[in-house]
Amino acid sequence: MANAKSKEQVVNPIGASFTRNDVYEKVTGSAVYADDIQFGNKLLYARAKRSPYPHALIKKIDISKAEVLPGVKVVVTGKDFPNRIGLYLQDKTIFATDRVRFIGEPVAAVAAISEEVAMKAVELIEVEYEELEAVFDAEFGASDKAPLIHPDLDKYVCPNFIFPKAGTNIANHFKIRKGDVSSAWDKCAHVVERSFKVPHIQHVPIETHIAIAQMDEKGKVTVWASSQSPFAQRNLIAHALHISQSDLRVIAPLVGGGFGSKAGVTMEAIPVALATKCKGWPVKFLLTREEEFYTNFVRQGLTIHVKVGCDKEGNLLALKNIMYWDGGASTEYGTNVTRAGGYSSSGPYDIPNVETDSICVYTNHPIGGAYRGFGMSELHTGLDQAIDELAEKAGVDKVTFLKKNGVAEGDVLVTGMIMHKNGIQECIDNVAKSLNFNEKEKPSSPDRLRGKGIAAMWKAPAMPPNPGSSAWVEMSEDGNVTVGLGGQEIGQGTFTVMAQMAAAALGVPYDKVRIAGPVDTQYSPYEWQTVASRLTWSMGNAVVLAAKDARRQILETVAEAWKESTDDLDIINGVVVSYKSERETSLENIVIYGMPKENNEGWTGGPIVGRGSFMPKYVTNLDAETGQGPRAVVHYTVGCEGLDIEIDKNTGTIYVLKGAASFDVGKAINPALVKAQVEGGFAQGLSSAMFEEIKLVKGVMTNPSFVDYRIATAPDMDFPLDTPFVEVPQDDGPWGARGVGEHPMVPTIAALGNAIYDATGIRLTNPPYSAEKIYLAMLDKGLVK
């Protein structure tokens, strides 16, 4: 029977800026985040006792007074939970056990009938400490003069691509030795040597970390968490508590911002630990904003020494990079940031001789975790500013210099990997064009200086060699499609993009596809983590495979029922059509009950369930001494940013006149969402360039509130921002797509530093580039009186 649906206008979901499928709930206030879930009167509230010292032995913990406070149900300390866990290097315990290693480290926790009672109980816990000499600087921490923060480092389990140095504070030392740097300097016509210090910053998700945990009488645990990593959390918390993974269920509702802070495991383990001692009672732990700033995850600080040289035409010849990462008290995650910083240490430039030492150092500072960019922003802050100076020294204009050295298909990268086709040239061109870059333009008044800065970048998804994604696709009697997946909607729009991809791969309209959320490790298929800008590419591949599997089952059913070949069948707008016989049937008629065969021969088909699984198979290890290996990473996303600014001579204040950001995304599945990511990332990058710094004084964060830790507000973004994207397809990406979530925050500090230099002739090596710093530097240089 002919069906008019297939003849309706078909909008290709790929490349369409469809409205997001999660926004109705968000604008009406009905969207459920973890703190909105109702648990009833049985809910207990957790608070943590935290170390006031950056480095100290724990001599004694007395919880007796806290335990008897009315309303207190459970008090726990580290002695009950001694197992070390970690995503890469297993150096972390849920609570401090024998010693504390940073101010704010949890030493004990309380579950009580109210937050107030829990807070009072925490104050009644008495801890005796013996202070130890502390380490507050990464370079000092790496030296043999520094006290050891993890004396048992040699006993920690770690994968074979992380290289801790026993008997030191060095948690990882990643090396690149490509070509011959020492002899290359003589061939260089120009050399720049610079050091930069990038401070710690925090992710500042507007929703702080939260987890609720409950253990039932049989010992099975359920965790509700604002999480980027429900499956990793299941795995790591199970390890920490000697529970089997399938006895620990993680339910992950919508996330109010992650930016890497909600990856891996941090505070989520604390309510689980409490819940194991009060079976049947749910325990909620919500971090205060102050706790969010420094007790959980921050972005590690970096001291980077860059030496870079080129020939007289401006071709880069040699790069020597020494990076000391201030990893903080635990580097279970940060060791991989160090590694990624190392294997990408050339930036998006073709440099024949590279020597990199990327060193992750323990300090008595907050814990460095995954932060949007995963080391790339810190690296490019130094590298792209040194290159900016080198271009000037060589007398080559900045745009030409970047383009001349931009990494091309076939280039041998610092790890020996061969570079794939990419759009770095177009990205640089886009930014240069948007800002009229090579035209020196006048400031708007004699009180102002004007400058333009440009910086290019790249980043590969930083992952272990075998991170997997999986998905299923099923349908209901109304023809709607449900996609099961394990990746998290953290604001980036993944639920929308996955629906678009499933729609396209199956042959149904976008608004017929729903995502099976919230992600629940009991029912959702496995996803490694929502990090690394990997979901569009990796989970997208799995979703497409699942949709294609469902499509195959449908077409085989119809082919058998109609006695036709699947080659002549198609699914358009939710209708199966035969190009041969011109018969049609709607999916509703097939997907649950199958189809009757002709001539009373019975039935064929049945409930359609498509499945898909994707894991890259080609990533290899790298040599421990040289960092060389056939395939270090899956692929690179490249890009470029630029800024046109004015500086007020009286105050040092920066006024951004225009911004430009261009990235090669392979294929923009939803162009509006790509642009939205670039806008948000640019803002976060600019914020880190102008305002943000965790001010650490002897291990104390002196500015743990929004009053003194400033992030960009609406007036700070009052300038036009061009965001043209480039599409050079990724060979193994769905429709050629690769990720862009992190990248827009990477080159912004360097772009601003370069713009400030262009305006003032001053190179500021330590971000944030605050008005005060700029003014004092101008005063120092005699630019102002």
What is the C-alpha separation between 447 and 162, in angstroms, rounded?
Answer: 52
Q: Where are the beta strands (DSSP E) in 579-682?
A: 584-586, 595-596, 603-604, 609-614, 637-648, 654-663
Query: For residues 677-716, which are near another protein according to CB under 8 A?
Result: 679-684, 705-707, 711-715
Residue 65 φ/ψ, nearest 5 degrees: -70, -35
Between CA 534 and CA 739 the distance in angstroms is 6
- Shortest Cβ 489–another protein spacing (Å): 8
Residue ranges in 261-300 that form contacts with another protein under rule CB under 8 A: 286, 288-289
Is there binding between residue 12 and another protein (CB under 8 A)?
no
Q: Which is nearer to another protein, 581 or 705 (CB)?
A: 705
Nearer to another protein, 413 or 673 (CB): 673
Cα distances (Å, whole numbers) of residue 415 to 254, 270, 342, 621 = 38, 40, 9, 10
**Tokens standing for residue 222:** 């359920």
Residue type, 679: E
> In angstroms, rounded to a whole number, what is the distance separating the alpha carbons of residues 121 and 45?
11
Please count the other Cβ atoms lying within 10 Å of the Cβ belonging to residue 625: 10
Question: 231 to 260, contacts with another protein by CB under 8 A?
Answer: 254-257, 259
In this complex, which beta carbon is closest to another protein, that of residue 31 or of residue 191?
Answer: 31
Dihedral angle over CA of 12, 16, 22, 28, nearest 10: -120
Using rule CB under 8 A, residue 717 touches another protein: yes
Is 676 a binder of another protein (CB under 8 A)? yes
Which segments of 590-712 does DSSP mark as H helices, in order?
A: 671-690
Question: At its nearest, how many Å lie between another protein and the CB of residue 147?
Answer: 36
CA distance 354 to 321: 8
> Toward another protein, which CB reaches closer, 576 or 701?
701
Q: Which strands sit side by side in the sheet containing 575-578, from one edge to the other?
A: 569-572, 575-578, 584-586
Residue 647, helix vs strand vs coil: strand
For the bound state, the minimum distance from the C-beta of residue 685 to another protein, rounded and expressed in Å, comes to 10
Asked if 25 touches another protein (CB under 8 A), the answer is yes
Nearer to another protein, 495 or 614 (CB): 495
Binding piece for another protein, criterion CB under 8 A, among 55-63, 201-209, 521-529, 608-616: 201-209
| CA atoms within 13 A of residue 776's CA, in its CB half-sphere | 6
| Position among 9, 27, 70, 602 found at the interface with another protein (CB under 8 A) | 27
Number of residues that bind another protein (CB under 8 A): 56
Q: Does 30 bind another protein (CB under 8 A)?
A: yes
Least Å distance, CB 495 to another protein, is 12
Q: Which C-beta is closer to another protein: that of 253 or that of 525?
A: 253
Contact pick of 342, 453, 493, 518 for another protein (by CB under 8 A): 493
- Per CB under 8 A, the list member of 208, 228, 377, 536 interacting with another protein is 208
In whole angstroms, give the CA distance from residue 217 to residue 208. 30
Applying CB under 8 A, among 8, 10, 12, 19 the residue interacting with another protein is 19
Give first-to-last CA distance, the chain, whole Å: 86
Using CB under 8 A as the binding rule, whether residue 40 contacts another protein is answered as no
CB of 683 to another protein, least distance (A): 3
Tell me which residue of 747, 736, 763, 655 sits closest to 431, measured CA to CA: 747
Q: Is residue 172 within 8 Å of residue 166, measured between CB atoms?
A: no
**Annotated catalytic residue, options 332, 389, 692, 742:** 742
Is residue 491 a contact point for another protein (CB under 8 A)?
yes
742 is catalytic: yes
**782 near another protein (CB under 8 A):** no
**Residue 38 contacts another protein per CB under 8 A:** yes
Query: From the CB of 274, what's the least distance to another protein, in Å?
Result: 21
Q: Does 735 bind another protein (CB under 8 A)?
A: no
Other C-beta atoms within 10 Å of 784: how many? 18
Q: Which is nearer to another protein, 239 or 710 (CB)?
A: 710
Q: What distances in angstroms separate CA 262 from CA 86, 204, 672, 707, one per listed residue?
A: 14, 11, 25, 23
User: 128 and 88 in contact (C-beta within 8 Å)?
Assistant: no
CA distances from 442 to 434, 751, 759 (A): 17, 19, 10
The Cα 85–Cα 521 span in angstroms is: 20
Nearest residue (CB) to another protein, 292 versus 388: 292
24 touches another protein (CB under 8 A): yes
For position 32 contacting another protein by CB under 8 A, the verdict is: yes
Under the criterion CB under 8 A, does residue 304 sit at the interface with another protein? no
Contact code string over 537-576 relative to another protein, x by CB under 8 A: ----------------------------------------
The minimum distance between CB 295 and another protein, in angstroms, equals 15
Helices (H), 323-451: 334-343, 376-394, 398-405, 424-434
**Distance in Å, CB of 294 to another protein, minimum:** 14
**Per-residue tokens: 194:** 């610079």
Window 87 to 116, contacts with another protein (CB under 8 A): none
235: number of CA atoms within 13 Å, CB side?
14
Q: Between residues 204 and 546, which has the closer beta carbon with respect to another protein? A: 204
Type of residue at 332: E
Q: How far apart are CA 629 and CA 624, in angstroms?
A: 10
36 sits near another protein (criterion: CB under 8 A): yes
| Residues catalogued as catalytic | 742
Give the interface with another protein as residue ranges (CB under 8 A): 17, 19-20, 22-33, 35-36, 38, 203-208, 254-257, 259, 286, 288-289, 490-493, 672-673, 676, 679-684, 705-707, 711-715, 717-718, 721
